[in-house]
């Protein structure tokens, strides 16, 4: 990308906010350098127009850490949550095409976890149009953040719950309230005659998968499966996860979602911090969430809080957030 200067040049950036440093963590550094993300290919010309020189460094590197202590404008991509007067975090949200551009982080670290959602009747028509467009496409095309098995020709037998797992080694202590060892048995006990589907995460380690399989084998009605999440969610009375992105995807089918960890989409779920909470949520979830405004929530979260890079107003909205953060005119 022509607008990005090299990491070598970043070591001698002149002080001041007219320099933008993009910190690409992990694979993000290379993919941004190769121009693979329209978030940056569209935003960088705007930064150049406004007089910003843009530099790309490896997140967490010696150079990157040193630059974080300066007053440059920083964009953190795929890195840890951090706050500073000149820091914004950029990262795809739960649905492809929509990005966080947030001052605290992304996912359960984003500032949305402090926000309050209120259904807006005046936005009803726009919300329904948006929801139907996003969900119809993803469900029909079997799209998720991770590649899924092909959709089944016939629906799965109805389940009392679908449990969407996460790798236990991912996630800091304190971000998850209940373990998979607590979740699976409680879901199995609700109705011993109904199946409970458990889907391992695509990045589950062999050891993690064996651990989940061992728990499932203790409960005859629990079935381990790699079927598409869309089929598994469609079959479920309730969907249970810790704080996976698939919990957000379950909202596309208007399913009661029980989250057993910190999320920034908690407004649309039942949060279980204890096994007792989980038991109540499984039992009363469908009636508790029966009147929830899923269309309005999707519109509020994705369209209004995140940035859609395909929209004509993307650059203007992103620049507005930069101006708000840096207090520019």
Provide mean pLDDT across the span 165-187: 84
- C-alpha–C-alpha distance, residues 59 and 4, integer Å: 15
pLDDT by residue (tens digit) across 151-163? Answer: 999 999 999 999 9
The pLDDT value given to residue 45: 95
Residue 171 pLDDT: 54
Distance CA 256, CA 254 (A): 7
Percent of all residues in the chain with a pLDDT value above 90, rounded to a whole number: 85
Tokens for 223, please give them.
Answer: 């079935």
The percent of the chain in helix, strand and coil, each rounded to the nearest 5, is 40, 15, 40
Residue 15 has pLDDT above 70, yes or no: no
Sorted by sequence, the CB contacts under 8 Å of residue 141 that are 6+ apart come out as: none
Does 169 have pLDDT greater than 70? Answer: no
What band does 9 get if pLDDT is binned at 50, 70 and 90? low
The mean pLDDT of 62-85, rounded to a whole number, is 93
Lowest mean pLDDT among 74-78, 129-133, 164-168, 281-285: 164-168
Residues 6+ apart with CB under 8 A from 313: none
- CA quadruple 14, 19, 22, 23: dihedral positive or negative? positive
pTM of the prediction?
0.92
Mean pLDDT of the chain: 93
Q: How confident is the model at residue 182 (pLDDT cuts 50, 70, 90)?
A: very high
**Residue 1 pLDDT more than 70?**
no
Q: How many CA atoms lie within 13 A of 254 on its CB side?
A: 13
Residue 139, pLDDT > 60, answer: yes
Structure tokens at 22: 């993009």
Picking from 29-33, 174-178, 235-239, 249-253, which range would have the lowest pLDDT averaged per residue? 174-178
pLDDT band at residue 13, thresholds of 50, 70 and 90?
Answer: low
State residue 97 phi and psi, 5-degree precision: 100, -15
Are 203 and 167 in contact by the 8 Å Cβ rule? The answer is: yes
Q: Which H/E stretch holds residue 326?
A: helix 314-326
For residue 18, what is the DSSP state?
Answer: T
The answer to whether residue 50 scores a pLDDT higher than 90 is yes
Show the domains of the chain with their CATH numbers: 2-93+307-326 (no CATH), 121-301 (3.40.50.2000)
Does the pLDDT of residue 172 top 70, yes or no? no
What DSSP string runs through 261-317? B--S-GGGSEE-SSHHHHHHHHHHHHHHTTT--HHHHHIIIIIIISEETTSTTHHHH
Closest Cα partner for 81 from 92, 69, 72, 91?
A: 91
pLDDT computed for residue 327 by the predictor? 92
Residue 309 CA to residue 273 CA, distance in Å, equals 35
């Amino acid at each position: 990308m022509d607008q990005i200067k090299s990491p070598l040049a970043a070591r001698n950036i002149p002080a001041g906010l007219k320099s933008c440093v993009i910190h690409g963590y992990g694979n993000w550094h290379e993919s941004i350098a190769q121009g693979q993300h329209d978030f940056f290919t569209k935003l960088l010309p705007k930064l150049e127009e406004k007089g910003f020189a843009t530099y790309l460094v490896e997140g967490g590197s010696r150079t990157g850490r040193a630059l974080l202590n300066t007053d440059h404008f920083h964009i953190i991509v795929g890195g840890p949550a951090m706050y500073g007067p000149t820091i914004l975090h950029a990262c795809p949200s739960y649905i492809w095409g929509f990005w966080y551009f947030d001052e605290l982080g992304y996912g359960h670290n984003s500032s949305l976890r402090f926000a309050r959602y209120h259904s807006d009747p005046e936005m009803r028509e726009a919300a329904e149009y948006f929801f139907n467009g996003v969900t119809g496409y993803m469900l029909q095309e079997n799209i998720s953040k991770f590649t899924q098995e092909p959709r089944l020709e016939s629906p799965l037998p109805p389940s009392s719950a679908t449990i969407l797992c996460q790798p236990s080694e991912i996630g800091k202590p304190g971000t998850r309230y209940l373990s998979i060892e607590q979740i699976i048995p409680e879901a199995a006990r609700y109705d011993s005659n109904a199946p409970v589907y458990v889907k391992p995460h695509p990045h589950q380690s062999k050891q993690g998968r064996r651990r989940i399989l061992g728990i499932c084998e203790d409960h005859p009605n629990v079935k381990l499966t790699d079927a598409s999440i869309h089929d598994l969610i469609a079959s479920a009375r309730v969907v249970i996860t810790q704080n996976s992105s698939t919990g957000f995807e379950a909202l596309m089918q208007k399913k009661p979602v029980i989250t057993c960890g910190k999320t920034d989409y908690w407004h649309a779920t039942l949060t279980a911090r204890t096994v007792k909470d989980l038991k109540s949520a499984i039992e009363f979830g469908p009636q508790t969430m029966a009147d929830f405004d899923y269309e309005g929530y999707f519109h509020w979260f994705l369209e209004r809080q995140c940035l859609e890079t395909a929209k004509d107003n993307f650059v203007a909205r992103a620049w507005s957030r930069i101006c708000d953060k840096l207090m520019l005119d």
